[in-house]
Chain A
C-alpha cells in the first residue's frame, strides 16, 4: 500500500526526471483527451442536431398549445416538457457546434439523457395520436414495447446509481473513520 510520506517508493519515483517538453506535450494531450476538437463535418453534424432539437421543440410546443383544453392536463404538460427537452437539446448541441469542442466527460452523458427523455416523450406523443384502427393498435403495441424497454433501461441505470451511491456513502464513512484514527494516533504520539 502507499504509506508514509517519503517512503522508498516515493524516493524512487522522484529519481525519474521527465523531459519538460515531453511532459508538456503529454499534459496538452491529456487536456485534449477530455475535450474533442470537432472538424467541419463534426460541427455540421451537431448543427443538424441543433436544428432537429429546435424542430422537436417547436413541434411539442405547437402540440401542447393545440392540446390545451382538448386533452387531459397531464398530456399537455407532457408535451410542454417535450418542448423544454427539445430546446435544451438544441441549446446543448448548438453550443457544441458553435464552440467546435466536445467535452467528453460531461456532454455525451447529458446528450444521452436528453435524447432518452426526448424519445420517450416522442413515442408517448405518437401513442396519444394513434388512429382508432388496427394499424393504430399495432402502433400502440410497438410503442408500449418501446416504453417498457425504456423503463427497464432507466430502472437498470437508477439501480446502478443507487448501488454506487451506497458504496460511496460507506467509503465516505470509512474515510472519516480513517481520519479520526489518524488524529487519535497523532494525539497519542504527541
Chain B
C-alpha cells in the first residue's frame, strides 16, 4: 500500500471507529501496534511496562476516539496519547524515571534535520538508540519512524520546532558516536 493510500485508509478506520464500528477499532490497533510498541519501548526500561503502557493507550483510544476531530491528525494524536500514558505510568512508579525533556542546553544546529540520514543499518541504529540519552532517543525514534513532520514531533514532545531541530542534530551526533564506538569494538 502506498503512503497516501495507507494514510487515507487509516483516516477511514478512524471515522468508522467513531461511528461505532468495533472491527475498525481493532484494525486500527493492529495497524499501529508495532510502531507504537517500538516508540513506547524506547521510553520505558522494562518490556513488561511497555506492553502495559500500550494496553492503557488502547483503552484511551477506545474512550476518546470520538474526540479526534481531524482523522488526519491520528499519528500525532496516537504518539501523544502513548507518550502521556508512559509518563503517567512512570509517575505511578516512583522508582522509574522518565527524563524525556531533560536534554542539555542546545546551540543552533549546523544542519537541517531532514538532511540525508546516513543511518542505513537499522540493526546498528536500533542498538545504538539504547545507549543515548532518553531525550535524544525519543526525538530520534519519532524521526526514524517517519510518521510525523518535525513540527508534529514538537507537538508530541511539547517543545518548539527549533528545539526539535537542534535536539535532532545533537541526537544524531550522539547516535553516530555510539555507532562508531560499536564499530571499533
Contacts and interface: CB of A to CB of B under 8 A. Distances in A.
Interface of A: 1-4, 7-9, 11-16, 18-19, 22-23, 25-26, 29-30, 33-34, 104-106, 109, 161, 164-165, 167-168, 171-172, 174-175, 178-179, 181-182
B12 A25 contact: no
Contacts, number: 109
B22 to A, nearest CB: 4
A161 B119 CA distance: 46
B104 interface: no
A29 B55 contact: yes
B145 interface: yes
B34 interface: yes
B11 interface: yes
Given A22-B51, A174-B8, A178-B8, A8 B122 contact: yes
B11 A9 contact: no
Contacts of B5: 175, 178-179, 182
A26 B12 contact: no
Interface in B9-40: 9, 11-12, 15-16, 18-20, 22, 25-26, 29, 34-35, 37-38
A164 B125 CA distance: 41
Nearest to B20: A109
Nearest to A31: B26
A26 B147 contact: no
Given A23-B51, A106-B22, A16 B15 contact: no
Nearest to B31: A2
Given A8-B120, A9-B144, A165-B19, A178 B4 contact: yes
Contacts of B25: 105
